[in-house]
Chains A and B, each alone.
Chain A
Amino acid sequence: MDATTQPAAGRPPDAPGAGTAAPHEHDVSNPAERLRRAQHALLSRRRLSIRLRLVASLLLCFGLCCAFAVAAKNLLGRARGKLNLLQTIERLDDRILRVRAFEDEGILSGSDIEKVLEGSRDAEDLFRKETSALQAADREDLPALLGHLGTYRRLLTAVTAQGRERGGFAVLTPTQAAKLRHAETEANKLLEAMIRRERVSLSAIFQLAGTGPLVLVGVLLLLFAAITYCFAKALVNPIRRFEGYTSRIAVGDFSLIGPARTYRDEFSDLAVAVNQMLAALQEQQNRLVKGARLAVVGTMTSGIAHELNNPLNNISITAETLMEESTTLTDEDRWRLLQDIYFETERASEIVKSLLDFTRQEKREMVPLELGEIILSTLRLSQNEMNINNVTVAYDVPPDLPRIQGAANQLRQVFLNLFLNAIQAMPSGGVLGVSAGVRDHGGVCVEVRDEGAGIPAETLPRIFDPFFTTKEPGKGTGLGLSVSSSIIKKLGGDIQVTSELGKGTTVHVCLPRAEEQ
């Protein structure tokens, strides 16, 4: 199926740029390179478009119908030929029989003989012309028949000539009569056999003409079924796959689409377009996350200024004391003052360091992390906000918590958002509860509780919406929870909020446990 996890995995091994392992790994971390590879994997397959397949299927059906029409026309022609032949043969046979009736009386009228002669000639011509229309057995008999007919005609012609001399009637000598009779009998026998055979063959043709359309209908039915099956497969399966893609994109999984089949078609073009969209979305998302991170630092300005100015002030006034009182101070005092300066400098640099840690862009690598450490470092970052808002922490995170899979800075961003929200929800002070544990489904869950006013039920569904904020203008961007939610979902976790009016709000963050080696 589709390489939804690692797009590069779906790349054919013969694709250009497979190279050695080191540059390969280096390249994959670059989003543009990842996109290029995914697109290449999608496009390097043999193209077999749906349009081509549709046209080919229709042409196949059309060709089949054409072939049937030609066959039907051919069959009709053959039937017509046979009917003609049969009619001629029957006429000839009929005349011969009539002449024979006259012969029995020993008298033949000239006109009768003319008719028989004419019929015989016609039949001979027809036989010669329509040899191909005759059955194989008939063709074998044909020379004998023609021989008999020839003899017959010669005798009759001779008799007619004699008859004309005598005044219109022909009288046969006994030998002539015997010969004529023999030729007649033989020709009649052959003709009767021919008629029988041609009738059988004609009825076979009619039977074929009757069953042919049924066969065609059957074949077309099978063909349509096959075509429908193929197209259903070619259309429905990709649509199902794309449904899957959209639902995973909806929850923030922006990994690129890889090849799912050995050929490409219009859906591959769609996949290429979706990949382009995913790359753009990913970039947008990165920008949003970064922006929200800086915004959160912005909301802490007063805390940060306070946190920095206090040690700076301590350093400044201590240095001033050292300068002013340099002559009166004892060595012990001087040592104590220098120590103050030293530790206050440490303190100031700590806050700068933690801020830098927080705002620094890090590789979004998923690594096993100690959740407790992340929570503690984030609490330190928000310590001053808590101090000035009279918020105390009730910390209950067991030290033996299993490690979770995630990206440290992104998680710090999430927890800082949650802590600051909780602190701001308690303007007149209170307790910020932070607890964690392993839940039934095996994930590690953290609860962040405040004792604020709570969130009304009608507002609760909207709190993860981007730019939705309950804070006064200028105090919140409305991005904190939205970005936190997208970060947690991307890390494969879940974030939920429960709230009770007048009692407070709890945010539950659950994260997948790291695979321990």
Chain B
Amino acid sequence: MPDHTNVMVLDDEPIVGDRLRPALAKGGFDVEVFTDSAAAIERLKQKSFGVLVTDMKMRGPSGMDVLRFVREHAPNTQVIVITGYATIETSHEANALGAYQFVAKPFKMRELVKLVEKASKLTVS
């Protein structure tokens, strides 16, 4: 069982992790930040997370690849996908792969933190 307070933030924009880390920590989450998706997948193999916040388009494996990996290896982890360019197709694809929520950039941090809180509760129940 993943510890529902473990949250991973994956975005190749370092500022996203820098800002989300303290905001989520304030909400009582244990946050790990990654900017490289391959390293993040390696970490997902070692540790279970309650919630994964991932960017869609990245160098190396994309957010969709990470989502697929999580569905296969950590089905209990809730995934929130953020993207700079949201299309109906990508949102459908993410939903079909069982993403918890699809969030377009630019997002409000307060709303994202709320989403993570809701998702983590889903993990517990």
Task: Please give the residue numbers on chain A whose beta carbons come within 8 Å of chain B beta carbons, in ascending order.
Answer: 301-303, 305-310, 312-318, 320-321, 324-325, 340, 344, 387-388, 390
Are the CB atoms of B15 and A314 closer together than 8 Å?
yes
Name the A residues within 8 Å of B16 (CB-CB): 313-314, 317
- Please tell me if the beta carbons of A316 and B108 are within 8 angstroms of each other in the complex: yes
The smallest C-beta distance from A264 to any residue of chain B, in angstroms, reads 61
Interface residue total, chain B, C-beta cutoff 8 A: 24
Query: Contacts A314-B16, A390-B60; is A305 near B109 (CB within 8 Å)?
Result: no
| CB contact between B59 and one of A305, A306, A316, A390 (< 8 Å): that residue | A390
| Closest B residue by C-beta to A341 | B15
Given contacts A302-B85, A306-B84, A390-B60, contact A316 B23 (CB under 8 A): no
- Expressed in whole angstroms, the minimum distance between the Cβ of A322 and any Cβ of chain B is 10
- B19/A306 in contact, CB under 8 A: no
Shortest CB-to-CB span from A84 to chain B, Å, is 115
Scan B16-35; emit 1 where CB is below 8 A from any A CB, else 0: 10111011000000000000
User: Do residues A318 and B57 form an inter-chain contact, with CB atoms below 8 A?
Assistant: no
**B72-91 Cβ-contact flags toward A at 8 Å (1 or 0):** 00000000000111010000
Interface residues of B (CB under 8 A from A): 13, 15-16, 18-20, 22-23, 57-60, 62, 83-85, 87, 104-110
Main secondary structure of the interface of A (DSSP, over half): helix
Query: Is the Cβ of A306 less than 8 Å from the Cβ of B57?
Result: yes
Are B57 and A317 in touch, CB under 8 angstroms? no
Query: Is the pair B85, A317 in contact by a Cβ cutoff of 8 Å?
Result: no
Min Cβ gap B21→A in Å is 11
Given the known A-B contacts A313-B16, A314-B13, A390-B60, are A320 and B85 also in contact in the complex, defined by CB atoms under 8 Å?
A: no
Closest to B60 in A: A390
CB nearest neighbor in B for A312: B106
- Contact call B57/A313, Cβ cutoff below 8 A: no
A388 touches B15 (CB 8 A): no
Residue of B13, B19, B20, B57 with most chain A CB atoms under a 10 A cut-off: B19
**Distance in angstroms between the alpha carbons of A454 and B35 in the assembled complex:** 33
Shortest distance between the CB of B119 and any CB in chain A (Å): 18
For A324, the chain B residues whose CB sits under 8 A away are 23, 109-110
* C-alpha gap A320/B111 in the complex (Å): 11
Q: Which residue of A lies closest to B61 (CB)?
A: A390
User: In the complex, A313 Cα to B106 Cα: how many Å?
Assistant: 4
| Distance between Cα atoms of A310 and B59 in the complex (Å) | 14
Which chain B positions have C-beta within 8 A of A325?
22
A318 CB, nearest partner CB in chain B, Å: 6
CB distance from B33 to the nearest CB of A (A): 13
B60–A310 CB distance below 8 A: no
CA distance A321 to B109 in the complex (A): 8
State the CA gap A306–B109 with chains docked (Å).
Answer: 18
Most A C-beta atoms less than 10 A away, residue of B59, B105, B108: B105
**Other CB < 8 Å A-B pairs besides A309-B106, A314-B19, A318-B19, 7 of them?**
A301-B85, A302-B85, A313-B106, A316-B106, A340-B15, A387-B59, A390-B59
Min CB distance B63 to A, Å, is 11
- Residues in B with CB closer than 8 Å to A301 are 85
Interface-centre pick from B85, B104, B107, B110 (highest chain A CB count, 10 A): B85
Closest to B55 in A: A310
Q: Top 3 closest A-B pairs, CB basis?
A: A309-B84, A306-B84, A313-B106
Report how far A315 CA is from B16 CA in the complex, Å: 10
Question: What is the CA–CA distance of A306 and B106 in the complex, to the nearest angstrom?
Answer: 10
Complexed CA–CA distance, A317 and B17 (Å): 10
Contacts of B58 in A (CB 8 A): 388
- State whether A344 and B106 are in contact (beta carbons under 8 Å apart), knowing that A306-B85, A390-B59 are contacts in the complex: no
Residues of A within 8 A of B84 (CB): 305-310, 313
> Judging by beta carbons under 8 Å apart, are B59 and A313 in contact?
no
Q: For the complex formed, measure the closest distance between the CB of B71 and the CB atoms of chain A, giving whole angstroms.
A: 21
CA distance A325 to B60 in the complex (A): 34
Question: What residues of B have a CB within 8 angstroms of the CB of A317 in the complex?
Answer: 15-16, 19-20, 106-107, 109
